[in-house]
Structure 1
Amino acid sequence: MTRFIVAPQWQGSSSSRAMQLIDGALAIAGDLPRATTTVIDVPAEAGESLESGVRRLSSLTRVRTAIEEAVAEADEPVVVIGGDCGVTLAGVGAVAGPDLAVVWLDAHADLNSPETSDSGAFHGMVLRAILGEGADVLSLPAEVITPDRVVLAGTREFDLGEELYVSATGMTVLSVDDLADPAALADAVSATGAARVYIHVDLDVLDPGEMGALTYPVPFGATVAQVVAAIKAVRERMPLAGASLTEFSPSSPEAAVEDLGAILRLVGALA
């Protein structure tokens, strides 16, 4: 059985549609089994940066703590539903260890730091924080997750600093074309030498033609079928330690309904 933790966090986003992430998370929650679903109480206020270089840090820190506590109480793998993709820090942090690989299915690398980010928005820094580089209260300890245990997949938009980081660390990057072969992602994860895997899905890994309610759509993305097949191939190869699905930003309840079928296929693959 899988437990779901829904965290309708919006404070990590820089989008003008950030508040719609609340509606997106709650729309997904409405189709999840009530008995195994916990909805996190996200602060209403934006929060303060506290001179960290991360906008709304105080609220983000509170949500991180709440998610980690909820994951710790679960006896089964947890799928964290966002909100913005900043919620994934807590999901990974709750199960992190030297035997864990992280799959990052996302159109964006999210490898900025407070020093390199132009926006100060945490959703562009999450993976770098997982790798131990970020604001002290909003990152994992250094070397818990290392770049050789991370696989970027479907990523097609990099800032210059992110390109330099990937080049310097040799992090594995799979293109959208690579995802046409379901085994490609499973092979890359196996090559990390890890014994468990955490799978993060930012919905903008999908092509905008597949999903309408995206905060930062990027052309030439993957199909739902490709992502579902890749996730299933990884899960056949290695135990799932946890997962996240984030960045659903519908403009209306009607728009949410149009995309929920595709989202539930992805949730089903993770669960």
Structure 2
Amino acid sequence: MTRYLVVPQWQGSPSTRAMQLIDGAQAIAGDLPRSSTTVLDVPMEAGESLGSGIHRLSALQRIRGMVADALAAHDAAAPDEPVLTIGGDCGVALAPIAHAARRAPGLAVVWIDAHPDLNSPASSPSGAFAGMVLRAVIGDGDPGLSLDGEVTADRVVVGAARSFDDPELAAIEELGISALTVEALREADALADAVLATGADAVYVHIDIDALDPAEIAGNAHPEPFGVTVGELTGALARLRQRVPLVGASLAGYSPASLAAATDDLGPILRVIGALA
């Protein structure tokens, strides 16, 4: 059985709608099985950058610790049950990826997102951690909010990205990160093939809902045209799970205009969650 950890974190987002990520996480939580779902009480304060180049770093560090503690408690109670983490912004994936990498040392990370989130604190145009998370996953970030060698760049597969900053394009080339276009993802086996090509024997999947085409979902603060459909994404995930063990996953980026408006989007979101759970 899958467990759900809901983390209504907004502090990593660059959006003027960042606080709506709280509504998005709560709306999703309302449709998850209550007995299998934990909702973290995320602090509301913005926090300080602490001279790091990452806005709200102190709050993000605190929440990362809370997520890590929740995952440790889960392991003590039900070590064989996978956890699906629900955001909030994409920064919620950092601690779960570290957790998954400890469970599966040969881990690959699939990052399905309209934006590759590969800026560093020095290159980021916004200072928002959500645009730096994948760079932190491979250990190339601020020491206060970065992994330490658990996942290497050659074990990362980016999918459906179609909006890049120049430093992110440079990082993909220089670090040897695999990247699949939206068209490539439409081939059902392309994602699984890319993961297996890394030599990994287990996988963690992170999905930002802006990977989906804007026609599929309205509650998206950063819509990018020409994304994947829900059917294309869930088909690729199904084939991936048939061929590679999934040891953890996260979904982030849902920011509805209001809790009432969330009703229209929950069908597609729950289909994606079903493909991960």
TM-score, normalised by the number of residues in structure 1: 0.98
Corresponding residue for residue 9 of structure 1: 9
Cα offset, 1:25, TM superposition: 0.2
Match of 2:21 in 1: 21
Instruction: Check conservation: 2:114, 2:161, Cα contact below 8 A.
Output: yes
User: Which residue is 1:202 aligned to?
Assistant: 208
Structure 2: 5+ residue stretches without partners = none
Name the % identity: 57
The reply on whether 1:113 has 2:120 as its aligned counterpart is yes
Partner of 1:161: 167
Query: In the alignment, is residue 38 of structure 1 matched against residue 38 of structure 2?
Result: yes
Q: Within 5 Å, give how 1:1-271 maps onto structure 2.
A: 1-74=1-74, 75=79, 76-97=81-102, 98-141=105-148, 143-271=149-277
Letter in 2 for 1:86: G
Q: Could you tell me how far apart the structure 1 residues matched to 2:243 and 2:276 are?
A: 14
Q: What is the CA–CA distance in structure 1 between the aligned matches of 2:71 and 2:83, rounded to whole Å?
A: 7
Aligned CA-pair RMSD: 0.8
- Match for 1:136: what amino acid? P
Classify the secondary structure of the residue corresponding to 1:245.
strand
Task: Give 1:169 shift.
Answer: 1.7
Q: CA deviation at 1:254?
A: 2.8
Deviation digits for residues 233-270 of structure 1 (CA, Å, limit 9, x no counterpart): 11111111100000000001232000000000000000
Where 1:94 maps in the other structure, the secondary structure is helix
Structure 1 residues 89-108: Cα deviation after superposition (integer angstroms, max 9, x where no partner): 11101121540000001000
Contact 2:98 2:150 in 1 (8 A): no
Alpha-carbon shift at residue 133 of structure 1 (Å): 1.1
Structure 1 moving runs of 4+ over 6 Å: none
Deviates more, 1:250-259 or 1:103-112: 250-259
AA aligned to 1:221 is G
1:13-61 superposed Cα distances (whole Å, 9 cap, x missing partner): 0100000000000000000011111111111111111111100011111
Structure 1: stretches of 5+ with no match in the other structure: none
Please give the alpha-carbon distance, in whole angstroms, between the structure 2 residues aligned to 1:208 and 1:32: 24
- What do the CA deviations read for 1:107-151 (whole angstroms, capped 9, x no partner)? 00100010111111000000000000111121000x321111000
